[in-house]
Amino acid sequence: MIREFQVSKIDELVATGITDRIRTMRRGAAEINILSTNTNQNVKGLSKNLYRVLTSYLPDRFKQDVKNYRLYLRRVDDINAQSYSERQRFHTDYSTSQSLGEGYIQFIYFVETPKRNGRNAPINDRGILLLKGANNTLPKKIIPKKGKLVFFTPHDTPHEVAYQNNKNLGSVSRDMVIGFLYKAPTRSNTVNRQIRVNSPRARVYRTLVNQIPLNSRSGPYQPTNDLLARLRKLNVKNVKKSGPKTGRTPIKKQRTKTPTPTSSKQRSDKLKSARSK
């Protein structure tokens, strides 16, 4: 694992040359997203040059195991679009095959500074890249900028694109080269998958750097009762029901009927009359 993320800033002239080459390539291509496996000779030539230039910033101790590589020229017109942002939640990547090998290093190179309406977007609106390192270190915040290059190990480095502020001001684009470096495979089957970090742990990562996921609408994470949160969304109010009061109801005293003097005298007269007969 790359313990410290390798973050480099490429020379301005080199970065501008890369940008111009990619723009020229896209003008004659049917798709703006281009894989290095494309059979077009121009794509192959550009891919080789990009690989040579970009990996020159990676220490030799990491490059010595490279058997294959794969590049992906990717441009996203709106980083907040669900089709893109939903795949950017905290995750790791695992890729291995007999033909390519085992992906052990990934890099992201920013071809352009993220733009809104043709101009560089403010820092907080660029879709900050979060990388979680080892040994309980704080996630590192990478602010996208033309010429910035980041290397990391994809299978054990959770990463995601953080929240874009001011979405109502317009969409923000992202133009980058995503690269995978492969070493000799350790298993025979082919696997290409993205592994999501469980939600509670991902929320902790974001809280540590005061960020939330790009496609979240709920604002910064705050612990809250799940049921209470749902009731608030439904705008349900507590209503007290009218009914008997709670607690013990007192038992009414039953009054004993005291004999009146008249009735007592009548009983006495009846008793005397019965005895005289």
Query: Helices 41-55 & 12-27, crossing angle to 10 degrees?
Result: 160
Counting Cα atoms < 13 Å in the Cβ hemisphere of 140 gives 15
Report residue 176's pLDDT band, with 50, 70 and 90 as the boundaries.
very high
Per-residue pLDDT for 62 more than 70?
yes
Domain that holds residue 168: 6-217
Q: Which residue has the higher pLDDT, 218 or 264?
A: 264
Within-domain flag for 208: yes
Q: Please, are residues 211 and 131 in contact by the beta-carbon 8 Å criterion?
A: no
For 143-190, the DSSP string reads: ---TTEEEEE-TTS--EEEBPPS-GGG----EEEEEEEEEE--SSSS-
Range with the poorest average pLDDT among 14-18, 94-98, 179-183, 258-262: 258-262
The pLDDT of residue 277: 55
Indicate whether 246 belongs to any domain.
no
**In a domain? residue 65:** yes
As a whole number, the mean pLDDT across the chain is 78
CA distance 232 to 213: 22
**Band of pLDDT at residue 74, cut at 50, 70 and 90:** very high
Give the single-character DSSP code of 123: G
Q: If you search the block for the tokens 């080269």, which residue do you land on? A: 177
* pLDDT of amino acid 242: 60
pLDDT digits (tens, 9 = 90+) for 123-154: 888 888 888 877 667 788 899 999 999 999 98
The pLDDT value recorded for residue 40 is 84
- Whether residue 193 lies inside any domain: the answer is yes
Dihedral over Cα of 163, 169, 171, 174: its sign: negative
CATH number at residue 138: 2.60.120
| 38 in any annotated domain | yes
Distance CA 47, CA 119 (A): 27
Task: Give the model confidence (pLDDT) of 209-243 as tens digits.
Answer: 777 666 554 444 444 444 445 555 565 555 555 65
- pLDDT at site 185: 84
Compare 236 and 88 and report the one with higher pLDDT.
88
Q: Residue 1 pLDDT > 60, yes or no? A: no
| Total domains present in the chain | 1
- The verdict on pTM exceeding 0.75 is no
Q: Residue 196 has what pLDDT?
A: 84
Comparing 103 with 231, the larger pLDDT belongs to: 103
Sign of CA dihedral 12, 13, 18, 21: positive
CA distance 167 to 85: 13
Is the pLDDT at 202 greater than 60? The verdict is yes
In a domain, 97, yes or no: yes
Tokens 């109502």, located at residue: 168
